[in-house]
Amino acid sequence: MAIEKITMPQLGESVTEGTIEKWLVQPGDHVNKYDPLAEVNTDKVTAEVPSSFTGTIKELIASEGDTLEVGEVVCTIETEGGDSAPVEEAKPAEGEKANEMPAAGAAPTKQLEGEKGSSKPAKPQGGKARYSPAVLRLAQDHDIDLNQVEGSGNEGRITRKDLLQLIESGNIPQAGGKTAQAAGATEAAEPVQQAAPQQAPTAPAAKEESIESATGDIEIPVTGVRKAIAANMLKSKHEAPHAWMMIEVDVTDLAQFRDSIKGDFKKKEGFNITYFAFFVKAISQALKEFPMMNSMWAGDKIIQKKDINISIAVASDNALFVPVIKNADEKSVKGIGREINELAQKARAGKLKSADMQGGTFTVNNTGSFGSVQSMGIINHPQAAIIQVESIVKRPVIMQGGMIAPRDMVNLCLSLDHRVLDGLVCGQFLARVKEILEKMNKENTSVY
């Protein structure tokens, strides 16, 4: 017998951690290679962690609700063949250090002389350790001095579990070696002194307000998917300077064309041809002509993406998913419509895979399906823009010659990252989308 380790896999681009949502096995269960072991939430998608071996589940290292970094051990399996040996503590997976965020100005991690055998995190020459993004977020949210924390991870690395235990105990170490409780007691005992003039400190990060529930209130646990949505939206709003533009489009001819074919199309193809498919087609065509819109901010450079992969927002009863239509500019209206239909069904059935969510370069959101006529979307980080397609509303419009006629009008609302884009290119892009849509009719447009 041999003991093998199952680690948290890399479940998507730039994904550094995942949350165990549900275990599908228990210790003692026999599993075959590739059998699902657990459901994991990450990057707005629920994926399954498969077994890499055939054998018997020995121990579940992580509990449901635990968030682990890529490469950390989630469970162990006893397999046939070889001698039984104790499992060594998990080492970081290859490339894991690249996903850890060093403190500002920190040099590469190096254990100093005299620290061998120490349980504290290895310190670089600058005196600052390297911490994962999850650890840094928790420390910032709860004012934890990481220099005062002893880690239980490999080589004394501080893990998310270490911080959660400190938070639950209330003994949160702060600067100067004091805990939060001790600091409060000291402040109460010391007489008030006039503060000496000093340089204004940097404003601390905003904390979440502690809200107590009252009788009759309903407390709803935050799921892994909702946490991922919250983290990505917060990152987008904090990092990307948002700006907004809106354009009004007359889609009367498109509406008449779509209404004239929808019945026959449904009988022939087996799914509805929606307005949204036409909008995605027009937007992907305009993106090809204005490639700067299909870009991403990368710190010291802007990356203009070659492929046009349209992210679309799909809502289930309690979550939002953003699957991707790959190479949308190369697909017909029918092809786009089929993918929209299939991705929406998979999202609502909880069957989206990590591959369905990866590679998006620009987001189109169908807010009009809820009756919205104007909205300001939050950019889907790290993309540079998102378009909200609002409701098609019949309104009286003044036509050429002063005549008033009922027309089908729609607002397209664009949110843009002002680091990457400016008003000129965005205005030209929206004008081109308007031109394409207003020319979609029975004579000029084919769905195939």
Active site amino acids: 418, 422
Residue 42, CA atoms < 13 Å, CB-side half-sphere:
29
Beta strands 404-417 and 242-250: pairing type? Answer: antiparallel
For residue 303, how far is the Cα from the chain centroid?
A: 19
User: Given 3-state DSSP classes, what are the helix, strand and coil percentages for the chain, each rounded to the nearest 5?
Assistant: 30, 25, 45
Q: Is 42 helix (H, G, I), strand (E, B) or coil?
A: strand
CA distances 291 to 14, 30, 285, 314, Å, are 23, 52, 10, 25
C-alpha 144/C-alpha 137 separation (Å) is: 10
Pairing of strands 310-312, 362-365: parallel
Q: What is the per-residue DSSP string for 247-301?
A: EEEE-HHHHHHHHHHHHHHHHHHSS---HHHHHHHHHHHHHHH-GGGGEEE-SSS
> Can you say whether the dihedral through the CA atoms of 300, 302, 306, 311 is positive or negative?
positive
> Residue written as tokens 């540079």?
384
Q: Quick check: 208 and 141 in contact, CB under 8 A? A: yes
Q: How many helices (H) does the chain have, and how many strands (E)?
A: 10, 21
Q: To which residue do tokens 């639950």 refer? A: 168
